[in-house]
Amino acid sequence: MERFVRADLVASRPPPATVGGPLGWLRRNLFSSPANGLTTLAILGLLAWLLPIAIRFLVIDAVWTGASGDACRPEVAGRPVGACWAFIADKINYLAYGSYPAPERWRPNLAVALLALAAGWMLWLGAPRRDLGALFAFLVFPVVAYLLLSGAPSLGLPSVATGLWGGFLVTVVVATVGIVVSLPLGILLALGRRSTLPVVRVLSTAFIEFWRGVPLITVLFMANVMLPLFLPGDITVDRLLRPLVGIALFASAYMAEVVRGGLQTVPKGQAEAAAALGLGRSQALRLVILPQALKVALPGIVNTMIGLFKDTTLVSIVGISDFIRVLEASRADPRWSAATIPATAYIFAALVYFAVCFGMARYAGFIERRLAAGERR
């Protein structure tokens, strides 16, 4: 069979034209297809309509100073009135501390500073002795914070009843207790559910399935109303401690399932390789298996923490003066009666929760990229 082989060279052609810079980014990310282009244009049109309204209400027409709701009424101000930030400025201490005694508010301030220190020590990847940071965050900080907030007369700190705690302070306390308890307890439950000991496995599974099968609001009502009925008459449980215990146990069950999902992604050969190197089961678990599992489970862990922080608003239903409850109480003040007060209050609450949750999500994204979490190679 006769074959043809081309002897002359094909003329070289220039490489395909590529567009770099901002124009190339727009083409690749926003206008890569007709559908994506239409979606981008629709979103831009919606933002062009909403942003001027939001900026006018929140900034241009906003009222920044005033001693009462009169400053936020159009008929008194003589102009269109937007957000009444004067109301937030007047109530900011109540929103932050509730009825916590003013002379003692340095104590929650110090507790929050210690919380920031503990979080920074653990979350900063380049921090020295992060193992000590973990001990400080999970053992030392809870004790010191409790003494600061509740008081210790033997140390010169007057007692402050939890009924006086309120505002964002209670939200931080509930979220912090939930996170500090649920993470280690969730890890233990996840390990217990995978244990080879039948008793440990059955008890861990039963605990997880029970708390996952009950709505959080039911847990709070049970802890607040039903728990005292099962205790002797001479024993009382602090009103704030009841929902704290319920939320911590509830969050631990969800955290356990997230960690268990991470454990299932670790190949069995990792444990076998650790054993071949002479590591015991506890050493292999601590040094080989858990680091890999937690790296993969990091997005789910942070998602559970964010959900826990937002779910703290439910404690207001059982009478705890959290951030939302004191916001509602402030809004009901007749001295601050104006049409824009409710919208201002809820926008402020949304901004506070968004700032905290967005910060947690961005840090988790940074850690995920740093550790290449979720990559399957």
Domain CATH number, residue 213: 1.10.3720.10
∠ CA 367-370-375, nearest 5°, is: 100
| 5 within some domain | no
Q: In angstroms, what CA-CA distances link 286 with 23, 184, 191, 262, 335?
A: 49, 13, 12, 14, 58
pTM, two decimals, is 0.81
Residue 374: per-residue pLDDT: 47
**pLDDT one-digit tens code per residue, 26-67:** 777 777 788 888 988 899 999 999 999 999 999 988 888 888
**pLDDT one-digit tens code per residue, 166-208:** 899 999 999 998 888 998 999 999 999 988 888 999 999 999 9
Interval 155-175 mean pLDDT: 89
| 262 within some domain | yes
pLDDT for 115 beyond 70: yes
| 169 within some domain | yes
| 153 within some domain | no
Interval 77-95 mean pLDDT: 86
pLDDT for 278 beyond 60: yes
**Number of structural domains in the chain:** 1
Cα within 13 Å of Cα(109), Cβ side? 7
Interval 317-330 mean pLDDT: 87
| 68 within some domain | no
Write out the residue range of the structural domain in which residue 92 sits. 85-100+160-371
| 137 within some domain | no
Residue 294: per-residue pLDDT: 83
Task: Produce one character per residue of 328-338: b if its CB has 16 or more CB atoms within 10 Å, e if not.
Answer: ebbbeeeebeb
pLDDT for 72 beyond 60: yes
pLDDT for 375 beyond 50: yes
| 36 within some domain | no
Q: What residues have CB less than 8 Å from 120, skipping those under 6 apart?
A: 127
